[in-house]
Amino acid sequence: MRIILCGFGIVGQSLVKLLDSRAEDLYAKYGIKPRIVGVFDSGGSATDPSGLDREKLIYVKKKTKSVKDYSKSKNKASGLEIIQNVDADVLIEATTSNYKDAEPGMAHIINAMKRGMHVISVNKGPLALAFPSLMELATYNHVLLRFSGTVGGGTPILNYAKNSLQGERITSFAGILNGTTNYILTNMANGMSFDVALKDAKSKGYVEADESLDLDGLDAAAKLVILANWVMDMKVTLPDIQCTGIRKVDFEDIKKAAKKNCAVKLVASCNKDLIVSPREISLDDPLCVNGTLNAIAFTSEHSGTQTIIGRGAGGMETASSILRDLLDIRKEISRS
């Protein structure tokens, strides 16, 4: 299985380490030998049709900050050039999310699919802005598009709703899908002011470079788009979400909620309307998790409400979701 890896940040590096540590096991148990034939970051690229050396990749990135130094010639090829010129089976898109035009991820995904590659995206941007059309493009090109890592990190929320609950009808769902805002709101419930709580979250590395993605609810809204399309078969994109962030939540709101045995949480919900907004949740509700935890509650027609709780982020967690998608793609291919 030949892989092109777009972006070589924490997730990309974790994936390379994971593939390395699991190499024998993956071959023995699933018959797959993933080979990374191309990788690029903002500095440049590295390619090798017979598979790049995983340890060397990690070493070079650590030492020089870019994979371009993998070979002496210092490969300056851009991502799109790699996608055009290197043959591969699967493209893994792990560049940074943006919700304005979703580039460069959008172009990577579209060009890879046109070249017949299956795509695994942990980048939420392209899916948030164009889920329905990307799915159509995948179908048209007879390739698979997977994105387990975009919602819940290592917690397989999307798979649970789609496969574990097959035959059941999910009627609505609500989730705490952004760990950063949940961490801030948890600290506010414990008495911190918004500004101090935000500063603390920043110092721990929980806040995105563009803090608006967390604080204004964009990250949660992007995940809601993906869930609504995948789980509820809706055809929606980011502008369809009514989105309010947590900047206006103040001490009064928190105190008012506490009096009712509730906490204020940033909730993304799908129940006719698609809404992201701060809401009061009862402390007795399993959905009411603290710290950086994520949680989602699916309500189904016959099996009641089911809540899944897990860490929503982390390099290795997201890498493990990519591995699941790889195995899923492998399984689907071998069937057809």
For its own copies, give the closer residue by CB, 104 or 156: 156
- At its nearest, how many Å lie between its own copies and the CB of residue 277? 23
Q: Give every CB contact of residue 207 below 8 A, 6+ residues apart in sequence.
A: 180, 198, 201, 214
Q: Using the rule CB under 8 A, is 286 a contact of its own copies?
A: yes
Which residue among 138, 280, 324, 333 contacts its own copies (CB under 8 A)?
324
Q: Using the rule CB under 8 A, is 328 a contact of its own copies?
A: yes
Q: Which of residues 292-311 bind its own copies (CB under 8 A)?
A: 293, 295, 300-311
- At its nearest, how many Å lie between its own copies and the CB of residue 109? 22
Tokens describing residue 40 = 């690029």
For its own copies, give the closer residue by CB, 18 or 117: 18
Q: Using the rule CB under 8 A, is 20 a contact of its own copies?
A: no
Per-residue binding string, its own copies, 157-176, x by CB under 8 A, is --xx--xxxxxx--------
Pairing of strands 262-271, 273-282: antiparallel
Q: Using the rule CB under 8 A, is 18 a contact of its own copies?
A: yes
Q: Using the rule CB under 8 A, is 114 a contact of its own copies?
A: no
For its own copies, give the closer residue by CB, 244 or 307: 307
Tokens describing residue 164 = 């574990």
Binding segment (CB under 8 A) for its own copies, from list 44-52, 197-205, 222-230, 326-334: 326-334
For its own copies, give the closer residue by CB, 221 or 295: 295
Q: In whole angstroms, what is the distance from residue 150 CA to residue 145 CA?
A: 12
Active-site annotation holds for 124: no
Q: Using the rule CB under 8 A, is 333 a contact of its own copies?
A: no
Would you name the residues annotated as active-site residues? Answer: 223
Name the site residues for its own copies (rule: CB under 8 A): 18, 26, 30, 153-156, 159-160, 163-168, 284, 286, 289-290, 293, 295, 300-311, 314, 316-317, 319-321, 323-324, 326-328, 335
